[in-house]
Amino acid sequence: MANQWAGQSIQICDDGAEFAPLTYYKRDGGDKTKELIGSTVELIDLIFRKHNIRYQITLLPWKRCLHEVKYGKNFQLILNAVHTKERAENYLLTQPHFDSKKHYFYSKSKYPQGITINTNRDFEQYSLGGVRGYAQTVFGVEDGQVEFYTHSYGNLIEMMYLNRFDVFLAGEELYFWLRLTRPDLAVNNKLGYGAINYLPDTDYHMLISKGYSKAEELKELIDRELDLMRESGQLQGLKEKYFH
């Protein structure tokens, strides 16, 4: 199998807003460098180096990345994405490589007593915000329920603090994204949050272009390596390394 992939080159894209701690630019004294790091960056490097596959990762605006990989001409693989019906139709999804607890977030200055969510019907009393292109259905809400959209989590939180909406939904990895990329948004304990315990964790997959000539073979290779890494504990070790 390794000979089949020798010399092959895969172009990878992922979210330009960064998805720490899975895919993000290393910081040096708080300044962003050009080096991409993260649990999924290291994961794909381990898999591709093992099979002598050359690759390059480029961070693009999320909707453009989805569009590019859908057709497969310039990019063939996305590192981190949740399952949706539309994505299952347009891409090949690998096995999950990461799972995340679902959370809701709000401004403590607006809701100093906090917010309690026990069922999705509880969201009906609040206006919801979201990042354009990010799947909301994994949280059990329809895209039409989200009243305010922006281009990144950073801008979304800023707009929430300006009372443009009440609540947004994201995974637990947002804590790490804030700490690593925008610690200013969480200072003074002003960001409130709670776990959505009645919903299962969110699984993240890689998306492979159906337009790529070796799409099926690439899915088989990645899935097989994920199985081996899961059984050996290496996959969990990567999560623990970056989620500290």
Q: What is the CATH number for 37?
A: 3.40.190.10
For residues 72 and 147, membership in a common domain is answered with no
Whether residue 2 is predicted with pLDDT greater than 50 in this model: the reply is no
How many domains would you assign to the chain?
A: 2
The 10s digit of each residue's pLDDT in 165-209 is 999 999 999 988 888 888 889 877 899 999 999 999 999 999 999
Q: What is the pLDDT of residue 3?
A: 64
For residues 213 and 94, membership in a common domain is answered with yes
Q: What is the pLDDT of residue 221?
A: 97
For residues 60 and 107, membership in a common domain is answered with no
Residue 96 CA to residue 187 CA, distance in Å, equals 33
For residues 17 and 130, membership in a common domain is answered with no
pTM: 0.92
What lies within 8 Å, CB to CB, of 15 at 6+ separation is 23, 59, 60, 62, 65, 80
Of 51-55, 143-147, 234-238, the least confident: 143-147
Picking from 61, 157, 156, the residue whose alpha carbon sits closest to that of residue 109 is 157
For residues 137 and 152, membership in a common domain is answered with yes
9 band by pLDDT with thresholds 50, 70 and 90 = very high
Domain that includes residue 9, residue range: 2-98+203-242
Residue 19 CA to residue 39 CA, distance in Å, equals 10
For residues 89 and 177, membership in a common domain is answered with no
For residues 94 and 7, membership in a common domain is answered with yes
Average pLDDT, the chain: 93
For residues 120 and 150, membership in a common domain is answered with yes
